[in-house]
Amino acid sequence: MSKFLRAFTLIVLALLVLAACSPAKAALPNPYAPQSGDGSLVRDDLKIVDLQVVGTTLEISYFLPTPCHHFRLAVSGPDASQKITVDAYSLRKQDQVCTLMALATPMQASLDLSGLPNGKYSVWVNGSLVGEATLP
């Protein structure tokens, strides 16, 4: 029985070491993440006015087609090449008629990247390179 316990203990310790050494997948807090009910909505473009990476934050200035649209940022990555991909878009209800005009002032959104592990990341939005974020 003692050999069994010793072998079992070694296996458990090995698994704990492997789990501790595996890279952690960072989850970025994203207040604009896709929602569970988005599948019933119609996807539309939005007009991006300005994109920039400032320190560890992606800053976006944009116009929605109408105030009835909802802003979304779908974030994936970082991948093996340290690339973070962001898909920025808007959603609206299928049959909703929105008589409100688009706002004259762009809206602002920011995505905090500081929750990622240390490293240098390239940030891409809708297929275009925006900049790089370096986390110490």
Give the separation between CA 42 and CA 92, rounded to whole angstroms.
Answer: 5
Does 3 map to a domain? no
Domain carrying residue 62: 28-135
Instruction: Specify if 7 maps to a domain.
Output: no
Smallest CA-to-CA distance from 44 within 89, 13, 79 is with 89
**Residues 22-66: tens digit of each pLDDT:** 444 556 789 999 999 999 999 998 999 999 999 999 999 999 999
* Domain CATH number, residue 121: 2.60.40
- pLDDT the model gives residue 100: 83
- Number of structural domains, the chain? 1
Q: How confident is the model at residue 19 (pLDDT cuts 50, 70, 90)?
A: very low
Q: CA-CA distance, 133 to 84, in Å (whole number)? A: 10
Residue 14 lies in a domain: no
pLDDT tens profile 81-128 = 999 999 999 999 998 888 888 888 999 999 999 989 999 999 999 999
pTM, full prediction: 0.77
Q: Is residue 12 part of a domain?
A: no
